[in-house]
């Protein structure tokens, strides 16, 4: 199974590990990207994730498929959550099942690096000072005044 998904539901890491598990695996690697309470020295209240979902899903699947092929993996699952996220919420899960740990760790890192660059997902960061900034691929797209 090489699969990418988009969801608005909370990510359940244990359910994903169970779903991807296979008796041939000697390694299961789970990476969770979670919302932190700061960004570049500024306090963050929450983040909203948005995308044109058909395009984002197509690119997310492409990344999962290409990286799985590069590392000769048969079990890769990438789930990205959209909508409002509070501090500590998981926004993305990358789950890799592999006979060996090195390929699983390397593939998870590569998937995350590619998602940040290749997948058109925007995040709207709401800061404690009331300002709001739109970010794509960790680059500021637009800053809005409080309430925008």
Q: Domains in the chain and their CATH numbers?
A: 2-144 (3.90.1170.40)
For 100-125, what is each residue's pLDDT tens digit?
A: 899 999 999 999 999 999 999 999 99
pLDDT at residue 136 is higher than 80: no
Residue 34: HSE in the Cβ half-sphere, 13 Å Cα cutoff: 11
Residue 98: HSE in the Cβ half-sphere, 13 Å Cα cutoff: 22
pLDDT at 138: 60
Q: Which of 25-39, 40-54, 134-148 has the lowest mean pLDDT?
A: 134-148
For 34-90, what is each residue's pLDDT tens digit?
A: 999 998 899 999 999 998 999 999 999 999 999 999 999 999 999 999 999 999 999
Tell me the backbone φ, ψ of residue 75, rounded to 5 degrees: -130, 105
Instruction: Quote the percentage of the chain above a pLDDT of 70.
Output: 91
Calpha distance 66→72 (Å, rounded):
10
pLDDT at residue 31 is higher than 70: yes
């Amino acid at each position: 199974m090489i699969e990418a998904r988009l969801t608005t539901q909370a990510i359940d890491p244990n359910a994903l590990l169970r779903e991807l598990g296979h008796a041939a695996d000697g390694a299961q690697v789970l990476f969770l990207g979670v919302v932190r309470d700061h960004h570049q020295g500024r306090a963050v209240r929450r983040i909203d994730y948005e995308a044109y979902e058909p395009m984002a899903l197509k690119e997310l699947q492409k990344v999962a498929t290409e990286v799985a092929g590069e590392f000769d993996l048969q079990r890769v699952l990438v789930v990205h959550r959209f909508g409002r996220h509070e501090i500590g919420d998981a926004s993305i899960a990358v789950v890799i099942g592999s006979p060996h740990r090195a390929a699983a760790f390397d593939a998870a890192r590569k998937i995350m690096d590619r998602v940040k660059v290749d997948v058109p997902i925007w995040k709207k960061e709401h800061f404690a000072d009331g300002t709001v900034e739109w970010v794509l691929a960790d680059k500021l797209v637009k800053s809005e005044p409080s309430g925008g």
